[in-house]
Amino acid sequence: MGNITRKHGELYKTLTEDVLNRCCSVTGFTPEVIRKEHDKFFDVAGDGRLKKEYMEELLGDYMPQVREKRLKYLTNCIFSAIDTNNDGYIDFLEYLTSIKFFQTESPIEKADFIFRIMDKNGDHLVTRKEIARLLECLEDYHKKSSNSSITSVMSGGVKPAANFVLAKLDEDKSGQIGVSEFVDGWLKDETIRTLFTF
């Protein structure tokens, strides 16, 4: 996120008027919401840098059915999607932005975020393997699904499921999915949305 709203190495420890204004303009949240989240964030991340282990713990509580190895992969994917300046920590602004993505009502923003989670190596393309690995993480989660199209897509395992996703989304038949193909599919197809919602 190499934009002017971010200052190098800043940890946003004190909510000055300037920091507050920038947080508001980046996220669209009200100052009240930002103050509340600031308290919450610094309660956990004392020095302003949230570590990956903490996210793994949170995710493990949220998705107890996901096994350890898969949880690690999923944590890595989500963490790198949130850690936009790639310094190995989540700072307050990155934290705010991620809340925005998790809470957003905008299907395009949501799809974009899921795409970035799935795109493990960050090359802006999603391969069959990246799809399969994310679905593998979500496999146990989907097992309890009452949605018959999800259980049917997942019934043969993650490889056929990844093929199904690729066949649905790969409009230009390049063998990989670009972000616009994913967003299109997300908007059009309920099975795709449900498959990647967790």
- Give 27's contacts (C-beta < 8 A, 6+ positions apart): 34, 96, 97, 99, 100
Say how many residues touch Ca ion, by CB under 5 A.
8
Answer yes or no whether residue 57 interacts with Ca ion by CB under 5 A.
no
CA atoms of 130 and 45, how far apart (whole Å): 30
Beta carbon of residue 152, minimum distance to Ca ion (angstroms, whole number): 27
Beta carbon of residue 145, minimum distance to Ca ion (angstroms, whole number): 26
Helix or strand holding residue 11 (H, E): none
The half-sphere exposure of 121 on its side-chain side, counting CA atoms within 13 A, is: 9
Kindly write out the interface string for residues 89-108 of this chain, putting x where it contacts Ca ion by CB under 5 A and - elsewhere: x-------------------
Answer yes or no whether residue 123 interacts with Ca ion by CB under 5 A.
yes
Look-up of token digits 């020095």: 47
Among 7-15, 18-26, 28-36, 122-130, the segment contacting Ca ion (CB under 5 A): 122-130
Give 1 or 187: the residue with its C-beta nearer to Ca ion.
1
Answer yes or no whether residue 121 interacts with Ca ion by CB under 5 A.
yes
Q: Output the DSSP codes for 134-149.
A: HHHHHHHHHHT---HH
Answer yes or no whether residue 87 interacts with Ca ion by CB under 5 A.
yes
Answer yes or no whether residue 83 interacts with Ca ion by CB under 5 A.
yes
Give 11 or 63: the residue with its C-beta nearer to Ca ion.
11
Q: Which of 140, 132, 49 is nearest to 88 (CA)?
A: 49
Contacts to Ca ion by CB under 5 A: 83, 85, 87, 89, 119, 121, 123, 125
